[in-house]
Structure 1
Amino acid sequence: MKLLVYSAKNFEIPFLKRANKNNHKVTYLKEALDTDTAIKAVGFEAISIFSGDDASSIVLEKLWDMGVRHITIRSSGHNNISLKTAKSFGFKVANAPDYSPHAIAEHALALLLALNRKIVLADTQVHQYNFLQDDLMGFNLHGKTVGIIGTGRIGSIMAKIMHGFGCKILAHDLEPDYDLIELCDVTYTALDNVCNQSDIISLHIPLSYDNYYLINKNKLALMKQGTILINTARGAVVETDALIDALENKHLGGYCTDVYEKEKGIFFKDNSKDGIKDERLKKLLSYPNVLLTPHQAFVTKEALERIAEITFDNIDSWAEGKIGKNELGLELVNS
């Protein structure tokens, strides 16, 4: 099968090449999929896209007309593709679930520790030969109440990690994990209770219609003064304007994030020469209690290896005329 890989990053290409095992003819493209670059898929039966690519209805229509029939997503989240449109055309779509939940949960913890213990500031100071400790005070995680919103693959690991630190765990999820209740003494409760009782809140939910701006002005107002919010899910789970207000008013103690609401056109590229025009992002980056990384939580050797394996498992299944285990939207076909 001829496969075009959009948004191919230099660091992931070796993993993809190894996973392919020369079974398929693959072309790697640095550009993201959008209305302009869709034309590059002419002659390809399958494409692979990343979470920042645009697979909206208009793009899908172009791809279908060009002969593309299979789309494999190199991420667990798939809010960037219109599944209903894809299935109405007849596309086969699959994602890469469960590629390495540990990578994401560990990154969430790294963000929390770095922000709380002022690691970035301390590193900057000592490189300037400033060894004072005046502005480096943090707090112990032990004994704090941590709210986990979403206890699926990633959230459950985050709960176990924080339990290991000696934290009390509150959780909110539509489907409680009873193993977490037994193993980590997790207490499931309403979202409002998680917001107003937690010292630290970590988000581990997909972006959906119901979860869009889940953390909004009202939910932020419920949080304790000084709460630290962690977001390694999707940027639009948090309402950016309300977040900025909470930081500006010093109600929120800090924001650790690997994602941003308007990543498109900014993330996954070097903007150091031309800068950025997004004033809200500039504002967020101006706060000393905001720590933002460029959607890098998945960038571990283990995660990249697994994503590559799943990507070509999906392609292999389609090439053999099988329904892949990661195929999305089958319920839309049968409804």
Structure 2
Amino acid sequence: MFKISFYDTKSYDRIYFDKLKKQFQCEIKYHEAKLNKNTAVLSKGCDCVCAFVNDELDKDTLEVLYNQGIKLIAMRCAGYNNIDFSYAFGKIHVVRVPAYSPYAVAEAAMGMILMLNRKLHKAYIRTRDFNFSLSGLIGFDLHGKTIGIVGTGKIGRTFIKVCSGFGMNMLMYDPYPVKDSDYNYVSFEELCRKSDIISLHCPLTKDSYHIVSHEAIDWMKEGVFIINTSRGALIDSSALLKGLKSGKIGAAGLDVYEEESEVFFEDFSEKIVQDDILARLVTFPNVLITSHQAFLTSEALENIAETTLQNVSAFFHDQKLVNEVCYHCSRERTNCQQRLNKPCF
């Protein structure tokens, strides 16, 4: 039986992991604290760590984990940009959940578009005060509008199907296009210039960091909608704020925020939020912010728990690690161990 040290625990995590832990013959030690260099000591006596998007897996944290004998980091999410792989390589293996429910995130993105366009959030508040006026609630037909989709991975492709159901024209940008597809790929600049709505579905890398910049917003149409259900740092928050204040950006739907790690998933309703940009964004009537909840469906949570525990079980039973992050070397290199169906190192 292997023992998992589980960080940043929420009540909904435990429901699904507790349901499966007996099946996978594991023990889970839950911590409410996020993982960082100070809380890493809580993993003493465990075999692996289960972490989430806002945990800190920098060199200092990894060093503590490694010195305590931790052999595996199991990310219960798709992203892994918070891990220092240059230090982890050769010491600690990393696995992830590459796909848990592309439908959950794609549907949430469309929900944001519909809410912002038809002012549903404002209408809901009005009618609770018995204000049934329609003034200021005018939207537009999505049918025939052009949506730019940045990233055509599993979530992006699912979102394409959702948009096609609304009769929208679609432009796609991805540095790694889907082969043999009929997607209308264009440059990122062209996508910005021609799209009425832009939705981000790409991972955060050094190339995509602040892909929505001051320059990119200058390229965009007047009144463009920007939707981000991927990673916060895809958008330069100061550029977004400037675009909203000038009216260049007509609306923004943000399920993620680049400085979210100290705020999202927690209750600050009785405190003063110190992030001035986030505090300002919340005041805009044409900005919808949710707390990284696009993934939050029962189907997704069940898939996350099952895949995470399968990943951990495979590692400790010397089985193929299909979801290991092979970061150090390219899969094109002949000496990549994963080409031989072996762990990364």
Contact preservation (8 Å) 1:45, 1:68: yes
Matched with 1:36 is 38
Is contact 2:230–2:256 with CA below 8 Å preserved after alignment? yes
How far apart, CA to CA, are the structure 1 residues paired with 2:17 and 2:41?
A: 23
Structure 2 residue aligned with 1:262: 259
1:24 paired with 2:21, answer no
Query: Residue 177 of structure 1: CA displacement?
Result: 2.7
Matching residue of 2:10: 9
8 Å CA contact 2:255–2:293 kept in 1: the answer is yes
Match of 2:72 among 70, 73, 76: 70
2:89·2:328 contact (CA, 8 Å) conserved in 1?
no
- How big is the shift at 1:21? 2.3
Q: Which shifted more, 116-125 or 169-178?
A: 169-178
C-alpha distance 178-323 of structure 1, shift in aligned 2 (>3 A):
closer
Identify the residue that residue 165 of structure 1 maps to in structure 2.
Answer: 166
Which letter does structure 1 place at the counterpart of 2:278? L
Partner Cα distance (2:329, 2:47) in 1: 22
Could you tell me how far apart the structure 2 residues matched to 1:193 and 1:330 are?
31
Listed as ranges, the matches of 1:148-227 within 5 Å are 148-177=149-178, 180-181=181-182, 186-227=183-224
Normalising by structure 1, report the TM-score: 0.96
Q: SS of the residue aligned with 2:28?
A: strand
- Structure 2: distance between partners of 1:91 and 1:242: 37
Deviation (angstroms), 1:175: 2.6
Paired residue secondary structure (1:80): coil
CA contact (8 A) 1:215 1:238 kept: yes
Is contact 1:231–1:257 with CA below 8 Å preserved after alignment? yes
Q: How far off is 1:191 after superposition?
A: 0.6
Distance in structure 2 (CA, Å) of the matches to 1:179 and 1:291? 36
Greater mean alpha carbon deviation, residues 260-269 or residues 318-327? 318-327
Instruction: Check if 1:124 corresponds to 2:135.
Output: no
- CA shift, 1:176, in A, is 2.3
Match of 2:228 in 1: 231
Structure 1 counterpart of 2:114: 113
Q: Which runs of 5+ in 1 are unaligned?
A: none
Alpha-carbon distance in structure 2 between the residues aligned to 1:83 and 1:44: 21
Q: How does 1:27-106 map to 2 (within 5 A)?
A: 27-88=29-90, 90-106=91-107
Q: Secondary structure at the match of 2:199?
A: strand
Number of matched residues? 330
Q: 1:244 aligned to 241, 250, 254, which one? A: 241
Render the CA deviation track for 1:219-245: whole Å, top value 9, x for unaligned: 001000011000011110000111111
Residues 172 and 188, structure 1, Cα contact 8 Å, conserved in 2: yes
Query: Could you tell me how far 1:92 is from its partner in structure 2?
Result: 1.3
After superposition, the Cα gap between the structure-2 partners of 1:56 and 1:137, relative to the gap in structure 1 and judged at 3 Å, is: same
SS in 2 for 1:187: coil
TM-score by length of 2: 0.93
Gaps spanning 5+ residues in structure 2: where? 337-345
> Match of 1:253, SS?
strand
User: For residue 147 of structure 2, what is the amino acid of its counterpart?
Assistant: V
Letter in 2 for 1:72: A
Q: Is the 8 A contact 1:7 1:50 kept in 2?
A: yes
Percent sequence identity over aligned pairs: 37
Contact 1:156 1:180 in 2 (8 A): no
Q: Is the 8 A contact 1:255 1:289 kept in 2?
A: yes
Tell me if the contact between 1:99 and 1:306 (Cα under 8 Å) persists in the aligned partners. Answer: yes
Distance (Å, rounded) in 1 between the aligned partners of 2:297 and 2:86: 32
Q: Which residue of 2 aligns with 1:286?
A: 283
Q: How far apart are residue 179 of structure 1 and its match?
A: 6.1
Please report how far the alpha carbon of residue 178 of structure 1 lies from its aligned counterpart in structure 2 after TM superposition: 5.1
Aligned residue for 1:188, secondary structure, equals coil
The Cα of 1:161 is off from its aligned counterpart by: 0.8
Cα shift at 1:152: 0.7
Residues 83 and 329, structure 1, Cα contact 8 Å, conserved in 2: no
SS class of match (1:122): helix
Q: Deviations over 1:295-327 (max 9, x none)?
A: 001110000000000110011111202231101
In the alignment, structure 1 residue 144 sits paired with structure 2 residue 145: yes
| Distance of 1:330 and 1:160 partners within structure 2 | 31
